[in-house]
């Protein structure tokens, strides 16, 4: 396996409970992931990131961990995790696992101890317990999932939970907490994982004295302002310690920050040479479908890492946001745009993330019945926000009706019209989204190593080259646009028949991207 694999890697996000269900209980599991490794190798990704599969009461889909060193029976056991890592490695796929250090589950033994202990005790000091203020919570902080970030316990104290009350925040100024997580990292590194995706990497340290945020509607993952509980400078000390642990293992073991921070410059701080290897680019996720917006985000992202050894990352979707087919307008138009965005994304220098199902062109499921909604956001928002279940609907693999080869009857129902979107239905269709991703990922391995240079392009079109031999054009507009022809077509997001190729010009169809090689003579 090559050195510094993570600089250009395409990393596929597996949301374990919705990927593949091997034992037929309707919930995806580790043996299910193992059974699909050939699919992932054939798709052409370099690594797999597995969302949490640890022991959990599943108050937040496993992001509420009760035992960081054990596999929840829902997902298998430790032997399944070890076998999955070994089988992935045998196919040349790296494995990244989630670590959830900002909070534990309220069913973690530490929290049970804290509840049983007295205010001011060592057991309480592992979390953030405080006395209230004027009969209410200690300060004005709000939970990301809605409502106050504090819950009161019977003796009158309050504990902090930036997410669900079932996810109490840890106190990262406590040395026992730090030692425990260093040990958890080693536990998984000893089992061969190639890195960690660090959940809420921007949240672990809170401002001294827990001052008021002095605003309302504070907490959203897509935060744009600075808050006393996010992106505090103290978090970087933790990553410097973790980097030493990662570097003490052979091979290139990496840390990836899930950090929702206001600017690309703030994000770059997580990527200093003695900290983490990558950080998710949420500004790219948030970009609306428009040429100037994408160009600005791409430039800012590249500028932010320009002075650093770290690569930029490119992310279109994950398990927390609406799928981009739907964000870009849904239906035929959303899919056209999503396919164009895929070619744009996979043409950029750095590391790209693919969220399970985007290679099938899956849309968000927006009409899940109320009674199946499992995301705590639905309850915490007083049923005003339907939450994130619509991007977590189990994948359609094969066959003509639900559960489409997923396994048992799926924990969230799949739309009947996904019959046309199964991996099986798309596999041999050269115009399918799956074929587009497979071909793009194959070609991506041989793209020039150079960064991007923007070329002149008509309004609404982005054109850039990497080196002399590769150009990418994207027509964001909803009409065809004619421009000088950059070379020979290597790959297009639209059917080849739609491309208006002249001797020296090309008419780019609406909402499409093309990869070109060399000059017109090829």
**246 phi, psi to nearest 5 deg:** -60, -45
Q: Which of 199, 275, 320, 511 is catalytic?
A: 199
Q: Shortest distance, CB of residue 74 to Ca ion, whole angstroms?
A: 7
Is 429 a residue of the active site? no
- Closest to Ca ion by CB, 21 or 60: 21
390 close to 363: Cβ distance less than 8 angstroms: no
Is 456 a residue of the active site? no
**388 phi, psi to nearest 5 deg:** -110, 15
3-state secondary structure of 10: strand
Neighbours of 179 (CB within 10 A): 10
327 close to 352: Cβ distance less than 8 angstroms: no
Tell me: does residue 142 bind ligand GLC (CB under 6 A): no
Tell me: does residue 163 bind ligand GLC (CB under 6 A): yes
- Closest to ligand GLC by CB, 188 or 476: 188
Q: Shortest distance, CB of residue 408 to Ca ion, whole angstroms?
A: 7
Q: Shortest distance, CB of residue 354 to ligand GLC, whole angstroms?
A: 16
396 close to 422: Cβ distance less than 8 angstroms: yes
Q: Which of 21, 231, 252, 258 is catalytic?
A: 258
3-state secondary structure of 254: strand
Provide the strand spans (E) within 64-203: 67-71, 94-99, 129-130, 150-152, 158-160, 195-198
Which span (18-26, 174-182, 303-311, 317-325) binds Ca ion, by CB under 5 A?
18-26
Tell me: does residue 63 bind ligand GLC (CB under 6 A): yes
Q: Shortest distance, CB of residue 13 to ligand GLC, whole angstroms?
A: 10
- Closest to Ca ion by CB, 31 or 334: 31
Residues 312-331 that bind ligand GLC (CB under 6 A): 319-320
C-alpha dist (Å) from residue 504 to 230, 464, 487, 520: 52, 18, 9, 7
Tokens 């108050």 -> residue: 59
- Residue from 29, 199, 359, 364 touching ligand GLC (CB under 6 A): that is 199
Neighbours of 166 (CB within 10 A): 20
Tell me: does residue 511 bind ligand GLC (CB under 6 A): no
Gyration radius of the chain's alpha carbons: 23
Contacts of 464 (CB under 8 A, 6+ apart): 347, 452, 453, 454, 455, 471, 472
Tell me: does residue 75 bind ligand GLC (CB under 6 A): no
Q: 448: closest CA among 435, 464, 467?
A: 467
Site string for ligand GLC, 102-121 (x = CB under 6 A): --------------------
Query: Total binding residues for ligand GLC by CB under 6 A?
Result: 10
Provide the strand spans (E) within 350-408: 351-355
Residues 21-50 that bind Ca ion (CB under 5 A): 21, 23, 25, 27, 29
Positions that interact with Ca ion (CB under 5 A): 21, 23, 25, 27, 29
> Which positions are annotated as active-site residues?
199, 258
Positions that interact with ligand GLC (CB under 6 A): 60, 63, 100, 163, 199-200, 221, 258, 319-320
């Amino acid at each position: 396996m090559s050195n510094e694999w993570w600089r250009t890697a395409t990393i596929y996000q597996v949301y374990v409970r919705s990927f593949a269900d091997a034992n037929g209980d309707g919930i995806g599991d580790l043996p299910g992931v193992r059974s699909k490794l050939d699919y992932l190798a054939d798709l052409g990704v370099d690594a797999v990131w597995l969302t949490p599969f640890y022991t959990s009461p599943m108050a937040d889909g496993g992001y509420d961990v009760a035992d960081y060193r054990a596999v929840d029976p829902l997902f298998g056991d430790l032997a399944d995790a070890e076998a999955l890592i070994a089988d992935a490695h045998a196919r040349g796929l790296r494995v990244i696992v989630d670590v959830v250090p900002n909070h534990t589950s309220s069913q973690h033994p530490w929290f049970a101890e804290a509840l049983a202990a007295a205010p001011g005790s060592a057991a309480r000091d592992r979390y953030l317990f405080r006395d209230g203020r004027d009969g209410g919570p200690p300060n004005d902080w709000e939970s990301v999932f809605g409502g106050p970030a504090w819950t009161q316990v019977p003796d009158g104290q309050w504990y902090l939970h930036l997410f669900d009350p079932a996810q109490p925040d840890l106190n990262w100024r406590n040395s026992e907490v730090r030692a425990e997580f260093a040990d958890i990292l080693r536990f998984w590194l000893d089992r061969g994982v190639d890195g960690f995706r660090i959940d809420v990497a921007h949240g672990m340290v809170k401002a001294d004295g827990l001052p008021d945020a002095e605003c309302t509607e504070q907490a959203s993952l897509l935060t744009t302002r600075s808050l006393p509980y996010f992106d505090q400078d103290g978090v970087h000390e933790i990553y410097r310690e973790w980097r030493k642990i990662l570097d003490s293992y052979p091979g290139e073991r990496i840390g990836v920050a899930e950090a929702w921070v206001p600017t690309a410059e703030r994000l770059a701080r997580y990527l200093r040479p003695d900290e983490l290897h990558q950080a998710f680019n949420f500004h790219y996720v948030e970009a609306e479908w428009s040429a100037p917006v994408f160009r600005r985000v791409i430039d800012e992202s590249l500028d932010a890492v320009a002075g650093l050894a770290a690569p930029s990352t490119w992310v279109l979707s994950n398990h927390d946001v609406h799928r981009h087919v739907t964000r870009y307008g849904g239906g035929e138009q959303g899919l056209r745009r999503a396919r164009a965005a895929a070619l744009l994304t996979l043409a950029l220098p750095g590391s790209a993330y693919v969220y399970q199902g985007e290679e099938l062109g899956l849309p968000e499921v927006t009409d899940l019945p109320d009674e199946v909604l499992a995301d705590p956001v639905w309850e915490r928002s007083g049923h005003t926000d339907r939450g994130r279940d619509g991007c977590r609907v189990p994948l359609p693999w094969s066959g003509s009706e639900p559960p489409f080869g997923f396994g048992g009857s799926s924990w969230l129902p799949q739309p009947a019209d996904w019959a046309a979107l199964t991996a099986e239905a798309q596999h041999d269709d050269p115009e399918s989204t799956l074929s587009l991703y497979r071909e793009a990922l194959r070609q991506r391995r041989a793209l020039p190593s150079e960064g991007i240079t923007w070329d002149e392009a008509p309004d609404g079109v982005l054109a850039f080259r990497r080196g002399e031999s590769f150009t990418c054009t994207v027509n964001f507009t909803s009409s065809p646009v004619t421009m000088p022809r950059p070379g020979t077509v290597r790959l297009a997001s639209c059917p080849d028949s739609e491309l208006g190729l002249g001797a020296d010009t090309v008419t780019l169809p609406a909402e499409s991207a093309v990869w070109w090689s060399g000059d017109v003579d090829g």
